[in-house]
């Protein structure tokens, strides 16, 4: 079967991308260094830019750079330009060419109540609408990041304190987000009303830390305290005597938490604990349930690295079919290395994956992947496995079919670009990919893997609209036709 696929399809266009990761610490003498280490642990959440803002008691200091955390923040000279005992940081992923320095967070502004730096992970579903209203009222926007909208709302708030202004601002925002703010004396953490995006609280030497995932606590030897609750705002403030007070504000009307299921399927690091659940265990459970739902006669279970590995281990254990690393991933191929010349295009997916021929030749292979977005990478991987001598290639996907785009901070293609919407049947999808069989985990199988029970259709336990079409909030920007053209730009700005 011959498929004409573009280079971008092969390499960068057929995976989901998380928007961002955040990290903040208050009152520690090594604040910037610890923030850089925390961001390094969160690098999987965004690889295109990183930023840190610190405060030394007199001035704010900012270092915002394009590229990876390790490219810049391992330099002692860079860290020396970030003095102080408090800092917040951010790693960012963008999707549309809008990765420019003025969009790199944390964003900083000098307001009537003093300087404030903010960073957030996720996306506001009314960010464009609020932005248009602010501009109509005379606001001047310097970036295309919807994080800037929050700065304007803080500046315009009639509340007295910076904390109350911050709360007043975010209560006007809708969507999925976790956000950190830093003032001269405070570190403020906030999570969206239903907890779509994760945020955890930790402690190191008695000093509070907030970050997107527990793996960022582990890297610096910090203690996990608890998850920030959905809708909660936690205000940590250094007092004149050096002590730190912690004020947790809950929303007036609480809603059930609905964490994003894709944190478990794909985004979070396997060693993280999200919503009290170990991500590796959840992914392994997905593979176990997949083996029960979609058994197949085969000789070897091979993960599509790296995301499919825990599920493949579970599939192998439940099915009794041996697990082998039949595909080896090259971890050192980045977007900066790859140039879309015709010669490079010809290499296709082999730039990132190569078949382990000794394991595959003459075997009936089960390929286990975490998800399929457009299917273009799957086509290339199946071709590669067949070229390595496999007698059969069966694909098992450890999540349901993706039918709907996301508006809460995940980079997803438009609905008509998703594989599940391009073919009317599973067989047609399988034929396109070129496999001998193709099966996906059911939505209930996924829910059982993560939460231990099937989906409650009346009140879903997780955010799962990409599978079900059940969006948990209003989509104000999408519903406004004047925003449609710009939405793809701003939805990527984490």
> 329 pLDDT band (50/70/90 cuts)?
confident
Confirm whether pTM is higher than 0.85.
Answer: yes
Please write the tens of the pLDDT for every residue from 423-480.
Answer: 999 999 999 999 999 999 999 999 999 999 999 999 999 999 999 999 999 999 988 7
The C-alpha atoms of residue 242 and residue 324 are separated, in whole angstroms, by: 55
Residues 382, 367: Cα–Cα separation, whole Å: 9
**pLDDT at position 333 over 60:** no
Q: Over pLDDT 70: what percentage of the chain?
A: 88
SS3 247: strand
User: How far is residue 475's CA from residue 480's CA, in Å, rounded to a whole number?
Assistant: 9
Residue 410: exposed, middle, or buried by beta-carbon count in 10 A (0-12, 13-18, 19+)? Answer: buried
Strands 300-303 and 364-369: parallel
C-alpha closest to that of 122 among 18, 38, 27: 18
* High-pLDDT (> 90) share of the chain, %: 80
Q: Which residues pair with 65 in a beta bridge?
A: 50
Look at the block and give the residue holding tokens 């005379």.
138
Gap between the Cα atoms of 52 and 69, Å rounded: 10
DSSP lists the bridge partners of residue 180 as 119, 189
Active site residues: 20
Give 260's DSSP letter. B
């Amino acid at each position: 079967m011959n498929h004409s696929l573009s280079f971008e399809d092969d390499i960068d266009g057929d995976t989901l991308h998380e928007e961002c990761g955040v990290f903040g610490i208050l009152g520690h003498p090594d604040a910037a260094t610890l923030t850089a280490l925390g961001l390094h642990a969160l690098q999987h959440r965004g690889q295109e830019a990183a930023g840190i803002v610190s405060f030394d008691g007199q001035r704010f200091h900012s270092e915002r750079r394009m590229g990876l955390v390790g490219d810049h923040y391992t330099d002692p000279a860079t860290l020396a330009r970030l003095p102080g005992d408090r800092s917040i940081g951010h790693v960012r992923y963008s999707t549309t060419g809008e990765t420019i320095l003025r969009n790199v967070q944390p964003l900083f502004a000098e307001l009537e109540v003093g300087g404030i730096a903010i960073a957030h992970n996720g996306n506001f579903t009314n960010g464009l609408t609020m932005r248009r209203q602010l501009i109509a009222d005379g606001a001047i926007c310097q970036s295309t990041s919807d994080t800037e909208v929050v700065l304007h709302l803080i500046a315009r708030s009639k509340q007295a304190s910076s904390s109350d202004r911050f709360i007043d601002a975010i209560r006007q925002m809708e969507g999925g987000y976790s956000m950190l703010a830093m003032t001269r004396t405070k570190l403020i953490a906030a999570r969206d009303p239903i907890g779509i995006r994760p945020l955890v609280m930790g402690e190191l030497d008695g000093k509070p830390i907030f970050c997107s995932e527990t793996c960022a606590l582990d890297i610096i030897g910090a203690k996990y305290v608890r998850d920030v609750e959905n809708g909660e705002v936690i205000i940590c403030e250094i007092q004149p005597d050096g002590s730190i007070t912690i004020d947790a504000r809950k929303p007036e009307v609480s809603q059930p938490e609905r964490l994003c299921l894709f944190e478990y399927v794909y985004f979070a690091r396997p060693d993280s604990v999200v919503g009290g659940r170990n991500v590796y265990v959840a992914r392994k459970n997905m593979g176990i349930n997949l083996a029960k739902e979609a058994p197949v006669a085969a000789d070897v279970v091979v993960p599509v690295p790296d995301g499919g590995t825990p599920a493949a281990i579970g599939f192998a254990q439940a099915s009794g079919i041996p697990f082998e690393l039949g595909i080896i991933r090259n971890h050192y191929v980045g977007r900066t290395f790859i140039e879309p010349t015709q010669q490079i295009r010809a290499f296709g997916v082999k730039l990132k994956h190569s078949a382990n021929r000794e394991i595959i030749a003459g075997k009936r292979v089960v390929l286990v992947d975490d998800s399929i977005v457009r299917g273009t990478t799957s086509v290339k991987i199946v071709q590669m496995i067949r070229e390595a001598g496999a007698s059969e290639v069966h694909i098992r996907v450890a999540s349901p079919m993706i039918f709907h785009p996301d508006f809460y901070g995940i980079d997803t293609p438009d609905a008509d670009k998703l594989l599940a919407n391009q073919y009317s049947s599973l067989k047609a999808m399988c034929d396109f990919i070129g496999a001998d069989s193709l099966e996906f985990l059911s939505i209930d199988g996924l829910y059982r893997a993560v939460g231990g029970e099937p989906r409650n259709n009346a009140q879903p336990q997780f955010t799962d609209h990409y599978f079900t079409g059940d969006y948990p909030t209003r989509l104000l920007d999408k519903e406004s036709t004047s925003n449609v053209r710009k939405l793809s730009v701003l939805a990527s700005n984490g």
